[in-house]
Homo-oligomer: A and B are copies of this chain.
Amino acid sequence: MASTILSRRDLDFLLYEWLDAESLIQRQRFSEHSRETFDAVLDLCEQLATDKFANHNKKSDQNEPHFDGERVHIIPEVRQALDAFTEAGLITAGHDAELGGMQLPCLLEKAGFAWFNGANVATSAYPMLSIGNANTLLKCGSAQQIEQFVKPLLAGRFFGTMCLSEPQAGSSLSDILSQAIAEPDGSYRLRGNKMWISGGEHDLSQNIIHLVLAKVPDVNGKLIPGVKGISLFIVPKFLVNDDGSLGERNDVVLAGLNHKMGYRGTTNCLLNFGEGKYQPHGKPGAVAYLVGKLHHGLAAMFNMMNEARIGVGLGAVMLGYTGYLQSLDYARNRPQGRPPANKDPSQPQVPLVEHTDVRRMLLAQKTYVEGGLALILYCARLVDEEKTADSTEARTSATLLLDILTPIAKSWPSQWCLEANNLAIQIHGGYGYTREYNVEQLYRDNRLNPIHEGTHGIQAIDLLGRKVVMNSGAAMTLLSEKILHTLVRAEQCQLTEHSGALGKRWKRLLHTTEILHGANDLNVTLANASVYLEAFGHLVMSWIWLEQAIAAHAAERGDQSFYAGKQQACDWFFRWELPRVDAQLDLLDSLDKTTLAMQDDWF
């Protein structure tokens, strides 16, 4: 039976027929690889995800981690899954050979990781965070920090977290109050409370490496207001001795677990730093090590946050993807009712998939999840370009494109693949609303994604307030060129209807962007930023679908049904989804102030 986690046929299409993964083998960094090694990794991921991750997805949800006041209890299957993941070498799938890594392209790394996200998003969050943590330290940490912390992270002996939010400062990092005070030996002592820390406490690894944002007071003991005063620190749960062995318990203490609607298998914690439960080296305060330069912490942490935003997008896509496949399976096997034009009750009922409205819900899901996966893999491909493209220009272009696409890669799947889960429930009818099936859990799990790593509102401000105008609009210009290039190719494939529809609207978006930035009042420019984000997202996804249709058109025949499905999905997206954008652009062009003018006491 075909997997209900992910379609390997679709994955192969995206990797080999669209994104030309095989061409990466020409690059020095990936020269040890081949189509065979790529496929072997994907096979391995499918198998491990199916056997070790999917097996406890529901059990994790029904038996969420609990804290007895001393330690956190997690069902044993989580540890078993993570051990298997580590043993298979997947933590270091993308890392340098000299670090013990496979030197796999990011594209293949993400394609492989998709299986784990789809099988069990909560368990797969632990390695996702550890890998992001290690990558940040590899980029910004000292040689000693890499030796002491990164190597055990990559070996799966330590796990990592990112600690940004505080109870009084969720999205507003300017307002964090955690403080770090320098010690004579160059280390720091850190105090503060950090909220929403995924993987913040557990016994799944020997140690936990927290990357913590905090402020260092000036000589007068004052904190620099705003983000300019933020620095990044390593705070390990256990200190690490020079020989790599574990030392004393550091003063990082679990204050409580958050009990979530979904995503329950991942511990999510309120952590207290330096409140005095432990006194490492006989002194108060959590021992902390500065990463990179003082007051440059936010930029350093953004390495991890950007990676995490793509990671959130992939998680959202895969929750949608497995829900799609599960509802497709259900729709094919559940007989129910008859078509409107032939309701003869003496005839047997037809499978749900025969009903046009059910096909609508399946097609919608297909476009959201396959489109979402395509976007995320496109971004992963850009990471490879950024690292290994031949020319500086190509590398710089990749960075720019990645910058502008990141808020879309995070927000679009979070919105639309959640909607896919909504439709997956609807196809199941009453059964979908029960815990006997999986789709209700997927819907609950996926509802986290529009919130963490920056809410929709934050992504919208990032896109409209920053990304489209940075470097004099360089990223926007580049994205426009890419899209226009696609439109030309689409016309050569008889996709003229779609290329016209997208071309016209993309041009409108450029104009809308000018109108918004011409408002001469930042509050007006950004007032309806979330609408801009959504319109932009749908336009980008139309482009991604057109790209897929071109690739399907170019494919050698022999798998007609698959390519017809891609073409039909593209048609559906262009006819059913893209036109939504018109009303959004109209609203934006009018600089509508209905929301801005609303008064608190009118509610």
Contacts and interface: CB of A to CB of B under 8 A. Distances in A.
Q: For the complex of A and B, list the 10 residue pairs with the smallest distance between their C-beta atoms, beginning with the closest.
A: A226-B345, A565-B602, A579-B583, A225-B345, A261-B440, A172-B337, A357-B457, A341-B522, A174-B345, A225-B346
Contacts of A452: 430
Query: What number of copies of this chain does the assembly contain?
Result: 2
Nearest to A257: B434
Contact of A433 (B344, B448, B523): B448
A595 interface: yes
A360 interface: yes
Nearest to A196: B430
Interface string A431-457: 011111000100110011011100111
Interface of A: 165, 168-172, 174-175, 195-196, 225-227, 258-262, 328, 332, 335-341, 343-346, 349, 353-360, 362-363, 366, 422, 425-426, 429-430, 432-436, 440, 443-444, 447-448, 450-452, 455-457, 460-461, 465, 521-523, 525-530, 561-562, 564-565, 568, 571-572, 575-576, 579-580, 582-583, 586-587, 590, 592, 594-603
A451 B465 contact: no
B340 A523 contact: yes
A53 to B, nearest CB: 22
Nearest to A225: B345
Given A336-B170, A444-B261, A576-B587, A455 B434 contact: no
A159 to B, nearest CB: 21
B175 A345 contact: yes
Contacts of A165: 430
Contacts of A435: 259-261
Contacts of A443: 261, 447
15 contacts: A172-B349, A258-B436, A259-B434, A259-B436, A340-B525, A360-B528, A422-B447, A425-B451, A429-B451, A444-B444, A562-B602, A575-B594, A576-B587, A579-B586, A583-B583
Given A523-B339, A527-B356, A580-B583, A363 B595 contact: yes
A595 B572 contact: yes
Contacts of A356: 523, 526-528, 595-596
Contacts of A461: 340
